[in-house]
Chain A
């Protein structure tokens, strides 16, 4: 059963580069690794000169990649529902429902949920085939709560199902026909079973790990501290930190010398205040991320 790694951290800290370098380093040490990218800029496709798509593509001997586009996923889901509705509902009702579906398709919660759905799908389908599944992002907000609080995951679904069953009980008391198979309960149960299975793989199997990427500056440290504390309180493992974009040791300018001193101090604070198994320190590279720099970065993992 494969280890599942989520890379957390604010935008711009270097999650995509670090997760790619990490995945590369695991793959090259002989472990079969799947890299899941949510980066809309397709930077991973560029790095490997490969058209990575929504199907799992082999990039190297032990490294495979797949791209997830939350907008594409949510649009596909909503379009399918719209088509179903169109053949059943009257035009008047359709108008109201279309409004609701349009609102849903631009809501931020929808993209979050669609991404979470795809993550769960990938985890359930592939965790047996890989030693490592590396995501270049991490669940946030709603989806993080659904994932981390065992009571919540499934509790919402359970309450929906229970309410539905109660409604049906009353209906069957009033009418003669009993024992109709309710499609709603079937759909909700299927969804609930999926979430339960994913949680089993990740949490019960202790396969889930969070790795946080940050820079050696005040705000990122504070935010990371809070995030790590919260995750650990949910019983989720945060095994490693990656401090990215570390300044070189040799600096000629006073400005940069000062910055380097501050940075060293912050590094010490990180070491003391956020204990982890692995503290990776990645330097700020001279050149932009390309196939050569990514190889260099992989050496640090």
Chain B
């Protein structure tokens, strides 16, 4: 009986975002997806030969600032595993 009540409580914590983590999760996904998009467009800065590099130059007026920040971040990456492990949301 206690288990069922506990599960119902957990359900509501998740569904109504009572721990306030939903915003953070979505932001992480958004920035990850943005990073992937930048990689597809400007991967040649990281040494990846892409067929769309020429076409991506057209997007610079819209992505210029993001590009510089992205490049710095990509160059500073030390460990992918550590990064991903840090984002794992393991409830106590």
> Does A173 make an interface contact (CB < 8 A)?
yes
> Does B51 make an interface contact (CB < 8 A)?
yes
Judge whether B34 and A167 touch: CB under 8 Å: yes
Interface residues of B in 48-85 (CB under 8 A from A): 49-55, 57-65, 67-68, 71
Interface residues of B in 2-61 (CB under 8 A from A): 23, 26-27, 29-30, 33-34, 36-37, 40-42, 44-45, 49-55, 57-61
Chain B residues closer than 8 Å to A107, beta-carbon distance: 44, 53
Return the chain B residue nearest A100 by Cβ.
Answer: B45
Interface residues of A in 243-283 (CB under 8 A from B): none
Given A113-B55, A156-B51, A160-B37, A88 and B64 touching (CB < 8 A)?
yes
Return the chain B residue nearest A156 by Cβ.
Answer: B52
Chain B residues closer than 8 Å to A163, beta-carbon distance: 33, 36-37, 40
Query: Inter-chain contact count A-B, CB under 8 Å?
Result: 98
How distant is the Cα of A183 from the Cα of B64 in the complex, in angstroms? 14
Chain B residues closer than 8 Å to A225, beta-carbon distance: none
Chain B residues closer than 8 Å to A187, beta-carbon distance: 58-59
Interface residues on B, range: 20 to 34
Q: Within the complex, what minimum Cβ distance (angstroms) separates A102 from chain B? A: 12
> Does A78 make an interface contact (CB < 8 A)?
yes
> Does A284 make an interface contact (CB < 8 A)?
no
Given A100-B45, A113-B54, A187-B58, A167 and B64 touching (CB < 8 A)?
no
Q: Within the complex, what minimum Cβ distance (angstroms) separates A168 from chain B? A: 9
Interface residues on A, range: 35 or more
Judge whether B26 and A142 touch: CB under 8 Å: no
Return the chain B residue nearest A111 by Cβ.
Answer: B54
Judge whether B68 and A97 touch: CB under 8 Å: yes
Chain A residues closer than 8 Å to B64, beta-carbon distance: 85, 88-89, 93, 97
Chain B residues closer than 8 Å to A117, beta-carbon distance: 54
Q: Within the complex, what minimum Cβ distance (angstroms) separates B52 from chain A? A: 5
Which of B23, B26, B60, B71 is within 8 Å of A85, CB to CB? Answer: B60
Judge whether B65 and A160 touch: CB under 8 Å: no
Interface residues of A in 52-83 (CB under 8 A from B): 74, 77-78, 81
Chain B residues closer than 8 Å to A104, beta-carbon distance: 53-54, 57
Q: Within the complex, what minimum Cβ distance (angstroms) separates A123 from chain B? A: 17
Judge whether A97 and B67 touch: CB under 8 Å: yes
Chain A residues closer than 8 Å to B29, beta-carbon distance: 170
Judge whether A81 and B40 touch: CB under 8 Å: no
> Does A145 make an interface contact (CB < 8 A)?
yes
How distant is the Cα of A101 from the Cα of B54 in the complex, in angstroms? 10
Chain B residues closer than 8 Å to A166, beta-carbon distance: 33
Chain B residues closer than 8 Å to A164, beta-carbon distance: 37
Judge whether A146 and B23 touch: CB under 8 Å: no
Judge whether B60 and A170 touch: CB under 8 Å: no
> Does A4 make an interface contact (CB < 8 A)?
no
> Does A171 make an interface contact (CB < 8 A)?
yes
Chain A residues closer than 8 Å to B65, beta-carbon distance: 89, 93
Chain A residues closer than 8 Å to B33, beta-carbon distance: 163, 166-167, 170
Return the chain A residue nearest B51 by Cβ.
Answer: A142
Q: Within the complex, what minimum Cβ distance (angstroms) separates A173 from chain B? A: 5
> Does A184 make an interface contact (CB < 8 A)?
yes
Chain A residues closer than 8 Å to B49, beta-carbon distance: 109
Chain B residues closer than 8 Å to A29, beta-carbon distance: none
Q: Which 3 A-B pairs have the closest CB atoms?
A: A170-B30, A113-B54, A163-B37
User: What are 7 A-B pairs at a CB distance below 8 A?
Assistant: A77-B54, A88-B61, A88-B64, A97-B60, A110-B54, A173-B26, A188-B59
